[in-house]
Amino acid sequence: MLKSGMASTERRVRLDTAKRLDVVAKAIGAAAVQKELLDEVMGFTDDEDEVLCVIAEKLNGSFVQSFANDSAGRVKTLTILKKLASATETVVRQRAVVSMAEIMEIGRAHV
């Protein structure tokens, strides 16, 4: 579902798919999120700014706590956000940095 939605030529479909990242993650479970979903999301980091902003917003501290709450999951999520933090659009960069800060705070709590 994620691949087909994010590969759509219609921006609206890609945007709706990005908005449901947490729903997809809940449906497939934490193991599949870390083994498959995060890798797929990394492949979609060259989309339109609005879609990228939603991805950056969805990959937040809550997402990590629920679906990627180990060092490998945090690293994969932070890698995606790092790429988004280098986007041209300021709002995408800002949202990525906010999500990264939330994840780093969770990481500090586990140390």
* pLDDT (tens digit per residue) in 14-64: 999 999 999 999 999 999 999 999 999 999 999 999 999 999 999 999 999
Mean pLDDT along residues 93-99: 98
Residue with tokens 């709590």: 109
For the segment 94-103, the average pLDDT, to the nearest whole number, is: 97
Q: What is the DSSP letter of 44?
A: T
State the pLDDT at residue 93. 97
CA 29 vs CA 2, 22, 89, 93, 105: distances in Å: 14, 10, 32, 28, 23
Per-residue confidence at 71, pLDDT binned at 50, 70, 90? confident
Give CA angle at 80 (74, 81), nearest 5°.
85
Higher pLDDT, 96 or 107: 96
